[in-house]
């Protein structure tokens, strides 16, 4: 997560909003995963009272017992889930869940955020998105600042196609 934060900060070129979205997405995903983990265990049937009768957990435990010749392996996945359901999830496990989900959430947010940028579609990053002639799009529209077109195409526009703001010369 720390390496991803450094990379996003370097790539954002001072764009604080982009950096904030990526880090915020990671924090939200991590927090939701930590909050949802006990709920998911409970819904599956791994409760504080043991494994719920007729639950998904009971069915999984039966399958594990049959596969193992009549018992469930100590230290296995199902016994660990049963312990977590009964005793709760430890702080270390919460940190692990939050870190893993936070990293995944940050990466997903970065991917989605990068795809919103003009020039992020396939082909040249700096290709004009109107004429697609391969000319470079180094023209920023005034006053909105959107940059997705070449000078020739920008001169023909009256309103920004992205935000509909009237363009000033």
SS (H, E, C) 83-152: HHHHHCCCHHHHHHHHHHHHHHHHHHHHHHHHHHCCCCCCCCCCECCCCCCCCECCECCCCCCCCCECHH
User: What is the Cα–Cα distance from 49 to 59, expressed in whole angstroms?
Assistant: 17
Q: Which residues of the chain are in CATH 3.30.40.10 domains?
A: 123-169
Q: What pLDDT is recorded for position 62?
A: 86
Instruction: Compute the residue count for the chain.
Output: 169
pLDDT grade, residue 14 (50/70/90)? low
Comparing 14 with 113, which gets the higher pLDDT? 113
**156 Cβ contact list (under 8 Å, min separation 6):** none
Long-range contacts of 119-124 (CB under 8 A, 24+ apart): 119/147, 119/148
Q: Which residue has the higher pLDDT, 102 or 118?
A: 102
| Domain at 123-169, CATH class | alpha beta
Is the pLDDT at 123 greater than 60? The verdict is no
Contact 101, 29 (CB under 8 A): yes
* Pair 136, 127: CB distance under 8 Å: yes
Question: Looking at residue 168, what DSSP letter applies?
Answer: P
pLDDT tens profile 19-60 = 777 788 888 888 899 999 888 888 888 888 888 888 888 888
What percent of the chain has a predicted confidence (pLDDT) above 70? 80
- Nearest by Cα to 86 from 152, 145, 42: 42
pTM above 0.85, yes or no: no
* Alpha carbons 141 and 144: distance in angstroms, whole number: 6
């Amino acid at each position: 997560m720390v390496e991803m934060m450094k990379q996003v900060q370097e790539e954002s070129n001072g764009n604080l909003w982009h950096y904030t979205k990526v880090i915020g997405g990671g924090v939200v995903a991590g927090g939701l995963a930590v909050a949802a983990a006990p709920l998911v265990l409970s819904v599956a049937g791994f409760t504080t009272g043991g494994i719920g009768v007729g639950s998904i957990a009971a069915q999984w435990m039966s399958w594990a017992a049959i596969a193992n010749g009549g018992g469930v392996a100590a230290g296995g996945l199902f016994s660990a889930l049963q312990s977590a359901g009964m005793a709760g999830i430890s702080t270390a496990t919460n940190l692990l869940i939050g870190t893993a989900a936070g990293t995944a959430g940050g990466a997903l947010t970065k991917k989605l955020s990068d795809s919103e940028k003009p020039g992020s579609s396939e082909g040249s990053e700096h290709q004009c998105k109107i004429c697609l002639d391969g000319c470079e799009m180094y023209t920023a529209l005034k006053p909105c600042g959107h940059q997705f077109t070449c000078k020739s195409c920008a001169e023909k526009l009256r309103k920004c196609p992205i935000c509909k703001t009237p363009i000033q010369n």
